[in-house]
Chain A
């Protein structure tokens, strides 16, 4: 089986930084994805990590530690449009065809 845990909600101020943590337990690991989902819309791909370390993409960065079963998504210079749900998804080694296991999502609320 597999558990993916992430906080339910986080609130931050425009211009600030927010870090969304994701922990997972899996019998095998073959990649971790972060998606952003605005209310009523489809998830959009943000990042992919399969090796330990930090991946940076503009204002967004994602970190992975496979030994700790831990990842975080860092959002810098927050903008109002960043208010959305952020989904952590893990692919197991046995599911390399592409099946993703999603967490419940973290709702980020950006305030003025």
Chain B
């Protein structure tokens, strides 16, 4: 049973460039959440995708966008990269509740993509 996978593992970009990160959820999961984790901090919620739509969004600018595909995998895109975007980007998968709020919905994290912006 494959867990959450992410690619690439590491990435180096320069300011102003664009980046795309990829995530495949745990088998049987249909919901993908993206988090940004700066060094020494806890993860910060970026957004969540369910049924190919953005269901909830954190306090991140529009430069951060995403997509979910019919097979539940997801991409995170960041445009016009800033030095402050350097972080570990984590993808977490869970099982949605078909529109019902509540429930444990434990999120399982992938290994992350470490992005360095120079």
Contact = CB atoms under 8 A, between A and B. Distances in A.
Contacts of B110: 42
B48 A48 contact: no
A95 interface: yes
Interface in A26-45: 30-31, 33, 35, 41-45
A78 interface: no
Interface in B84-112: 90, 94, 96, 101-112
Contact of A102 (B31, B43, B105): B43
Interface residues of B, number: 30
Contact of B111 (A41, A50, A102): A41
Interface in B16-66: 31, 33, 35, 40-45, 48, 50, 55-56, 58
B101 A96 contact: yes
Contact of A95 (B35, B56, B96): B56
Nearest to B45: A99
Contact of B90 (A43, A95, A105): A43
B45 A31 contact: no
Contacts of B96: 97
Interface residues of A, number: 25
B81 to A, nearest CB: 22
Contacts of A100: 33, 43, 45, 107
A33 B94 CA distance: 14
B33 A43 contact: no
Interface string A72-112: 00000000000000010100000111111111110000000
Contacts of A87: 42-43
